[in-house]
Amino acid sequence: MSALALILAQRGFCISGSDPSNNENIQNLIDEGVKVFQKQSPSNIKTICFRRTKQPLIVISSAIPKNNPELTAAKAAGLEIWHRSDLLAALIKSQPSIAIAGSHGKTTTSTFITTFLAIANRDPTSLIGGCVPFYGRNAHAGTGELLIAEADESDGSLIKFEPKIGIITNLELDHTDHYASLNELINTMQIFAKKCNQLLVNYDCKILRNNFKSTASWSTKNKSVDFAAIPIKLDGRQTIASIYERGSFIDNITMPIPGLHNLSNIIASIGACRMAGLSYSDIKKSINSLEAPRRRFDYRGSWNGRLIVDDYAHHPSEIKATIAMAKLMIESDRSPFSTRPKRLLIVFQPHRYSRTKEFIKAFATALSSADSLLLAPIYGAGEKPIDGASTEALANTIQEIRGDLPICVSRNLNDLSRLVKEKSKRGDLVLTIGAGDINSLWGRLIKEDKNNQLTSFLAA
């Protein structure tokens, strides 16, 4: 929502909105002249309609309930109301676009594509779910031909999009609050795929390989596909891989971002840019400038001799990939940090009761590879509690898999900050994982450090 608002503000539209939080995205909007109401109230609708000859368009997301006071007031005033996806669909249709869909890696792949194009002076318009380091924000109204958009599948609304190039990174069941089965998700993605002028998919994903007809595909295992990056060396600091295009060797390149899953995101981005007409030489010039988006293995600094990393992972497969990358840094003795991490302490906040219940065994399996584990209460994201979905149930399931793993369950985030201080050690890589408000934990520790005169947290 903030990305859409930012793009329209940069394009000269009069934009207003409401949000009780005050974060970097909100400040970016205020800097662009957006009127931000801090409370959601019917009076806000009256304010934006006052002395206007043309009625405003109201845009809502799936997170807005039907009884929202502003939405109720907008309906009473007879205002036109669009879903977020309607607005994004209109933007995608207005210019040649690349839309990135899939269960995992959308934000990272979108960020890499945007970075490649921006450095090659293509100045794309981009609307992404995370902050793009190249721009320092999650959206940019460019002057170039292309628009890059992250296509979220969580509510099924991506079937409205008609991009020039569609990308599907991978596919597995998630968002069980919306999809009753994997087949239902596949059917939705197939509708999206048919609306793409060209389709680029991940050959390594069996579900995509068996259910989708694509224009092109990529792989980190099979060099005979359209675009391939076959790893030569993987460590905790970088990845060296051989690049192939339609079976022909192109080059060996060193990528500054570790992890096999990131190698897949990078070759997907290279493939998309090649399909969009970017030369390989322009792409290669940008490789060393690639940075993951914020909250994707995001190094936050050091605190009392602990290395602090924040990650947005909230699905078992994402958690497994994130932990594997962290372990690689510890075991290979190579990492992007100034000191070598010796132990992995994971601080995990489950996201949604429905997801926790559906994947509790898969979550437990992924988290069981930690050296020590702290669990926060479930972040409901608007959902009501469900029987069998709790942090305690998750802890019990993990103990069944690995009884010797030290686990602590916290009552709330204040209790969690206490546990971090008590259970962490110097030399730990403390990895916070979750899509909720777990990243606010470090602000609490900073405040407590100032009060207790502890070693201050160094923001990266």
Average pLDDT over residues 316-338: 84
Residues 6+ apart with CB under 8 A from 181: 173
CATH code of the domain containing 31: 3.40.50.720
Query: Mind listing the pLDDT tens digit for each residue in 198-232?
Result: 999 999 999 999 999 999 999 999 999 999 999 99
Task: Give 283-305 pLDDT, tens digit per residue.
Answer: 999 998 888 777 777 887 778 88
Q: Is the model's pLDDT at 251 over the cut of 50?
A: yes
How many domains are contained in the chain?
3
pTM, to two decimals = 0.81
Residues 363, 394: contact at Cβ < 8 Å? Answer: yes
* For range 1-7, the mean pLDDT: 92
Q: What is the mean pLDDT of residues 409-426?
A: 89
Instruction: Give the sign of the dihedral formed by CA 271, CA 272, CA 274, CA 275.
Output: positive
* Structure confidence at residue 446 (pLDDT): 64
Token pair 């930012």 is at which residue?
6
Whole-number pLDDT of residue 42: 92
Please write the tens of the pLDDT for every residue from 145-173: 999 999 988 888 899 999 999 999 999 87
Encoded tokens for 61:
């997301």
Q: How confident is the model at residue 453 (pLDDT cuts 50, 70, 90)?
A: very low
Residues 155 and 263 in one domain: yes
Given the structure tokens 């400040």, which residue do they identify? Answer: 27
Q: Say if residue 455's pLDDT is above 60.
A: no
Q: How confident is the model at residue 25 (pLDDT cuts 50, 70, 90)?
A: confident
Letter string b/e over residues 388-400, b meaning 16 or more CB atoms within 10 A of that residue's CB: ebbbebbbebbee
Q: What are phi and psi of 4, to 5 degrees?
A: -60, -45
How far, in Å, CA of 304 to CA of 193, rounded? 49
Residue 268 belongs to a domain? yes
Residue 451 predicted with pLDDT over 60: no
Indicate if 306 and 283 belong to the same structural domain: no
At 209 the pLDDT is 94
- Percent of the chain at pLDDT above 70? 96
pLDDT (0 to 100) of residue 450: 54
Same domain, 113 and 260: yes
CATH code at 328?
Answer: 3.90.190.20
Q: Looking at the domain assignment, is residue 103 inside a domain?
A: yes
Expressed as residue numbers, the domain containing 34 is: 2-79
> φ, ψ for residue 452 (rounded to 5)?
-100, 5
Distance of CA 115 to the CA centre of its chain: 16
CA 355 – CA 317 distance, rounded (Å): 13
Q: Is the pLDDT of residue 114 over 80?
A: yes
Residue 443: both structure tokens together: 């602000």
In three-state secondary structure terms, 213 is coil
**DSSP string across 399-425:** HHH-TTS-EEE-SSHHHHHHHHHHH--
Same domain as 197, residue 164: yes
pLDDT confidence of 88, banded at 50, 70, 90? Answer: very high
pLDDT at 399: 93
- Most confidently modeled range among 131-140, 333-342, 347-356: 347-356
Backbone angles phi, psi at 100, to 5 degrees: -105, 115
How confident is the model at residue 452, as a pLDDT?
A: 44
- Boundary-marking domain end, from 225, 257, 289: 289
Q: What is the DSSP string of 282-297?
A: HHHHHGGG--PPTTSS
The token pair at 393 is: 């149930």
How many CA within 13 A on the CB side of residue 40? 15
Query: How many Å is the Cα radius of gyration of the chain?
Result: 22
- Residues 243, 104: one domain? yes
Tell me, what amino acid is at 81?
I
Average pLDDT rounded to a whole number, residues 185-193: 94
SS3 260: helix
